[in-house]
A and B are shown apart, each in its own frame.
Chain A
Amino acid sequence: MKATVYITEEVEKFIQNHGAEYFPNECCGFLYGKEGDKREITLAKRVDNSKEGDQRRRFEISPKDYMDAERFAILNDLDLLGIYHSHPNHPAIASEHDLAKAMPFFSYLIISVNEGIPGDLKSWKLENDERKFTEEHVEVKYLIEK
């Protein structure tokens, strides 16, 4: 059975908007929330894609931005729970390139953006800390039930 990661509607919209705005390049950001019985992501923050050159197929987050993200979590009593990025004109499937530098524990949310229109949002996590991804079920908590 897939593990579930819960995200708020605001986080979903935030990632969709960022992906659309940054198309055709890959956007990226940090995900914060609380890790208890459930993994609940309540806040997303944008960060610069620091990849030099073509950003349509690659993203990178600078070490300084990463250290700032850790500090932000401590100062705001949140857990840094993962990273999101977009796949422009490509499915929300984690690639070999995503896997190569993936860390344990983090949820890696990927949004597919097709010709500027946000599509599937999927989450991936390293399986038992091995170098293999498994998909997590993404459950969006809507303020108003649909």
Chain B
Amino acid sequence: MATILIPTPLRKFTENNSKVETGGITIKDAIQDLATKYAGLSKHLLDENGNIRSFIRVYLGDEDINALEKDATVIYNDSIISIVPAIAGGSI
């Protein structure tokens, strides 16, 4: 089972767990497994089509999955997956 690190703002949806064990072969499987385990999390992670939202970055170890195979990136039992909210804004 790979491990997903949950960022602080989403921990209220994971019973305050900062780490969650997750199954699957790819990043997409792992994120969908997480969203299934914790229903309240789903709308913050996935869009209407079940894809990872554009303002959520996912890292496998220290690598942005966009530099790998995106959500088709293969994971292993010792994989550490980080969910990283894209923090941005502006006055207008």
Contact = CB atoms under 8 A, between A and B. Distances in A.
Interface of A: 26, 28, 51, 57-61, 63, 66-67, 70, 73-74, 79-81, 83, 85, 87-88, 90, 94-95, 97-98, 100-106, 108, 129
Contacts of A98: 89-90
Contacts of B82: 67
Given A100-B55, A103-B10, A104-B12, A95 B64 contact: no
- State which size class the interface on B falls in: 20 to 34
Interface of B: 5, 7-12, 18, 40, 44, 55, 57, 59, 64, 82, 84-92
Given A101-B55, A101-B87, A80 B8 contact: yes
B14 to A, nearest CB: 12
A90 B91 contact: yes
